[in-house]
Every structure is written in structure tokens, then in C-alpha cells.
Amino acid sequence: MKSIRVYDINLSPEMEPADSAVGAEYRRVSTMLYTLESRGADAKYLNLHKDALTFMESPAVQQIMRSAGMDGFPCMTADEEIVVSGRYPTNEEILEQLDTDVIELLARPSAAFAGSGCNGVCSSCHVAGCGPAAVTGNA
């Protein structure tokens, strides 16, 4: 399975209104990557503000900085190869890079729900204490 990374230079995309272009795209991409990662994929959303060291250590990011500067972000890499530059990737572009059975991957219960009895879909059961709070003890 490939290592998927989305590098973003927007300092606080989570603070953007959900109906703004950046806010909507950030939420879509970060949710997709979190979901894939929670099911075993090597997929991460990285933000310059929070992950500056990772940005500096990435040869792909350095290549984008030399060739396109800040206009090259956000970008997506697969095994450190630039796949998308200058925009957020589509869900299809992300899934295309995984080199795995995506249906099987997405069918796996999320690690966040492990042991909750709901197979990763909290609405699938009515067990008291179901969901992430039950797993973390914050119920």
C-alpha cells in the first residue's frame, strides 16, 4: 500500500467557514484521509503550521517549493511522488493511489470503534456506551 500525504499551507483551514471553498475542501479531504487511516491505510493530512518539520524533510515538498512556490499547495504525494499540486485532490484521486482493495479497506471497522460492539458504525447497534467515548473511557 502506498503512503499518501496531503500537504497544506493554509494555516488554519479548520477555522474557515464550512461553506467557503477552502473550508469545504479541507473538511472533505481531511475526513477522507482520517477515515482511510483509521482503517489501516498509510494516509495523512499535514499542515505547515502543525507539521513544519515534515514539510522540511520531504523531498517532494522541496521540489514543489522550487518549481511552483506557494502556488503548488495544497498537494498530494504517493510514496513521495507528486500526484496533485496546486489544489486539493479529489476523493477518486486519493483512492486511486492506494494500491489496495478499497472496498475491503473501507469495510473494515474503524480503530476508533474497536471493541465497542458496533463494527465501526455506531448507528448499527443500540448498546449503551457505544462509540469512541466508550473506547476512550470518556462516556
Mean confidence (pLDDT) of the chain: 78
Write down the domain spans for the chain.
3-107, 109-139
Class of domain 3-107: alpha beta
What is the predicted pLDDT for the residue at 98? 85
Residue 25: which residues within 8 A CB-CB, separation 6 or more? 88
What pTM was estimated for this model as a whole?
A: 0.73
DSSP for 55-114, please give it: HHH-HHHHHHHHHTGGGG-SEEEETTEEEEESSPPPHHHHHHTS-S-HHHHHHSPPGGGT
What is the pLDDT confidence band of residue 1, given thresholds at 50, 70 and 90?
Answer: confident
What is the predicted pLDDT for the residue at 54? 93
